[in-house]
Structure 1
Amino acid sequence: MSLAGILKERSDNEKKTKVITDASQAIRNLKRQNKTIEERTKFLRKQICEGNLEVGNTENNDNDKNTVSSESAELLYRISKSNQKLEGLACLTGITATKQGNQIVYMFDPFVQGKHKGTYYIRFGPSYTLLEHNLPAGINVRKLYKETFDARKQNSSENLKDFLKIVFRYLRSFLSREQQVEDVKDGDLALHLKHIETRHQHTDITVTLQIREEGNEEANLVEIGLEYEMDAERPIPGSLKVKVPESWEEALDSMIEQCQVLYTLRLKEGILSAFKE
């Protein structure tokens, strides 16, 4: 290699080394700045909670560490209010979150009739990208995600909050309908149950009962049909259908009237109330 080539290679290597050194220094500076910001934010939140923080103008920031600008105080106030809302949402609905690297996992712990159902989760990547979930097949999570995020053409924390609330409503409603069907199969009502059929993720339920008239040993079959919305625990108004034997046709209107309680009560309680002596 010629002398000129050697000098050029050496110059290129020196430039590369300088670029790497500058980048490393920039990364260290950013880490220090980030640590300083985190410590400052933690200190300011503590001062706010203790009532020791004074709100002033930006000129005083360098003179008193206990004084913060009005703009910073307003920003911290909004952050605190947002955190309070998220904490309240978690307490009221049973939704919690945990960060795993650059991903966030939201966990759902619904209770139905005092019984814990779960835990279910949804995993998000950066920019609210939906990665995976373990919710029941009865909840079309990706469709709900598209309706909440894609339809609004923006990714924001407000979209996320709405999405989580909608998913939780669909999840709890599905689990409730599922549990109502199981409840019908147990207890005293099970003695009169001939058959129960569910379709379309428990949104179409048909209950066939064996009912005996007083003094008659032969049981007659009464069929009750109900339809539900995907995000509802009670039947759709007007969806009730009742079928009775031909010999009971005259009493059909009266029986339909009795079954109106199914719109407001859980399935088992509604049937027991409708056919109580």
Structure 2
Amino acid sequence: MTQLVHSNAELRLAMTGLASNICLVPTMGALHEGHEALIAAGKEFVGKDGCVVVSDFVNPKQFGQNEDFEKYPRNLEQDQKIAHKAGAHILWAPSVEDVYPGQWPMEIENDSRFDILEGKSRPGHFAAVIEVVTRLFNIVQPNVAVFGEKDFQQLVLVSEMAKKRIPPVGILAVPTKRDFDGLALSSRNVYLSSDQRKVAHLIPDALKQGVLVASKGANKLEIKNRVIEVIKQTDLIEIEYIEVLSNDFKELAPGIVGRILIAAKLGNTRLIDNMPILLKEKL
């Protein structure tokens, strides 16, 4: 069974003698099949002699005012079962005091990309993400960490931070795990009402249509309009943004694979998704 530990001291003791090749899978708990895929990918990457640590920490700093920190789903017993099924050695569920000891501040270098896409709607979110991941890296000292492509902006920003560390931490990116109808798996999907869940597939459907029309030569405005057209089959989905950008969030040139990204709300539940996209080169 995956060993459940809480304090940093318990974590260090549990890691003693396990392996020198450490993989960290940072999560906020409420594990599902998407997390299971991340853990399994990490285990495969480090091999039978590696050690996979899953952190289970709902980080209060990355929730803004009026967000869902208090009601964010938590089920440590179920998390341990999923972590075990996927092959994790340790499930580490630290307290806030373990991750943020004392009053030690951490200066996070500002980045203009903190303020676009997700950051525009959630001020301070990415500074908080970079800080908590840095702190998790400092405690666990992994060789590699696993992140999913669903949170693509997070993946890019964390990857760049990880490269700058001494020694650097490798980042393993795992494709988005999807439900039977294409909806990206998310811990927040449990908030959806039955009516909202029935139409939520329109989000990935719309992205697929955007990718399709791009392959036929559509420009960015036409791509966005096609996405909107698909979403507007229901009045239960409110689009927050649709963007077509390069993988480093700049203008996407034809002939280069970038990303189409979306954020949308169904009632009070906010969902994000993205897919690779290629703008057709003009002949």
**TM-score scaled by length of structure 2:** 0.24
Does 1 or 2 have the higher relative contact order (CA < 8 Å, sep 6+)?
2
- Structure with bigger helix share is 1
